[in-house]
Amino acid sequence: MNFSVLLKRYTFTLFLYLISTFISNAQYKRLDLVLATPNTEIFGQDLSKFYMYTDRTFEGQPSKPWQGGKYGYVRNPKRTNSGILYSRFHEGVDIKPVKRDSRGIPLDKVRSISHGTVVHTSKSAGASNYGRYVVIEHDWGYGKFYSLYAHLADISCNKGQKVRPGTSIGILGYTGDGINKTRAHLHLELNLMLSKSFEKWYKKNYVAPNRHSLFNGINLAGIDIAQLYNEYRRNPVITLPEFISKVETYWKLLVPNNGIPLIMKSYPWLGSKMDKANGNPSWEISMSPSGIPLKIEPNMKKVTSPTISWVKFSATPHAWNTRSRLTGTKDKARLTASGQRFVQLLLWK
């Protein structure tokens, strides 16, 4: 056996040891979450006071549903035999302002939701659909997470700045596509980063320049921050791995074992049954409907390319439930071209 093979096996074994040590000995920090604006109605009885509505026309009827400001599949309604379904995913939450001046301009300060470091400020309103936006990196002891604050009128923080829970970082506004003064809001996300090799992947798949480095929205996978706020209120010691472990699995994917999946290096707690990771020809990745990796396990099935191993039964097209990453219906599915690019991003080195 040559030296390179021995080194590869040693490196892999060392990584597995580090994962087990990480999981068993990690000293996690408390989230110390605070609300991002003065609007506290997320904990109230009337959520229409918290979420900014969307303008909608469905089957000829105009409406302004506040539910369109929630996280999840809440937009683009379609009437089906199973009832009305929503096929467009909303990555974060849209928060109403609570204070405006005499001209209707919002005055709410936007604040960091926890301790962290400002890693990106996009001060040009036209450089993204997010308008002016800020990204803050948080390290609670189990991999980096990223809060994102979009549609800001003004940014008052700088890249590299350390922030605490409640540090003012800007003013709520209406910069970005499809927003006017009446619908001014803060779009708030809390994300995993899909790949540290994003920029290489982006150059292969897009012609337009990437103005936001690793902090392009394509590279960030948002969790349900509204649900997290409520869970945190009930259990202040909750961790994000614990929270994410409760998210529904919608599909599973087998990928060839070409080494540790890159995203598991960023989030080692995704690894499951790693004591069996010895000569496994593939990995099975469990995915949420929106595309959050939930779990990665060694698998003994041989595959030569990414292959769907399981999908939740659905009488409606899987494309509507997976951001068009899968095609098919019922218990049959395969990756679309978009889905293949998404998987490449997860695995890119």
Q: Which amino acid is at 151?
A: H
75 neighbors 86 (Cβ within 8 angstroms) = yes
Residue 200's pLDDT is 96
Across the chain, mean pLDDT equals 93
Mean pLDDT over 71-76 rounds to 96
Q: Measure the CA–CA gap between 76 and 98, rounded to whole angstroms.
A: 27
Q: Where are the domains of the chain?
A: 3-27+247-347, 31-240
| pTM as predicted | 0.92
State how far the Cα of 333 lies from the Cα of 312, in Å rounded to an integer: 9
pLDDT higher than threshold 90 for residue 229:
yes
Banded model confidence at residue 12, pLDDT cuts 50, 70, 90: low
For 136, the enclosing helix (H) or strand (E) is strand 132-139
The pLDDT value given to residue 4: 44
- Terminal CA-to-CA distance of the chain, rounded, Å? 26
What fold is seen in the domain 31-240? Answer: Glucose Permease (Domain IIA) (2.70.70)
Question: Are the CB atoms for 224 and 29 separated by under 8 Å?
Answer: no
CA dist 55 and 58 (Å) reads 10
Residue 174 and residue 130: Cα distance in Å, rounded? Answer: 9
Per the listing, tokens 């995913």 go with 89
User: What are 268's two structure tokens?
Assistant: 């080692």
Q: What's the one-letter identity of residue 13?
A: T
Q: CA-to-CA distance for 48 and 209, rounded, in angstroms?
A: 38
Residue 113 phi/psi, 5-degree rounding, is: -80, -15
Q: What is the per-residue pLDDT across 80-117, written as a single tens digit (0 to 9) for each? A: 988 999 999 999 999 999 999 999 999 999 999 999 99
Distance of CA 119 to the CA centre of its chain: 17
Smallest CA-to-CA distance from 32 within 164, 148, 147 is with 164
173, with CB counted inside 10 A (0-12, 13-18, 19+), is buried
**What pLDDT is attached to residue 201?**
97
Nearest C-alpha neighbor of 260 from the set 250, 244, 274: 274
pLDDT mean over 250-272? 95
User: Can you tell me the mean pLDDT for 264-284?
Assistant: 94
88 contact partners, CB below 8 Å, separation of at least 6? 73, 74, 75, 76
Neighbours of 283 (CB within 10 A): 23
Confidence of residue 15 (pLDDT cuts 50, 70, 90): low
CB 131 within 8 A of CB 170: no
Cα separation, 156 vs 154, whole angstroms: 7
**Does 23 score more than 70 pLDDT?**
no
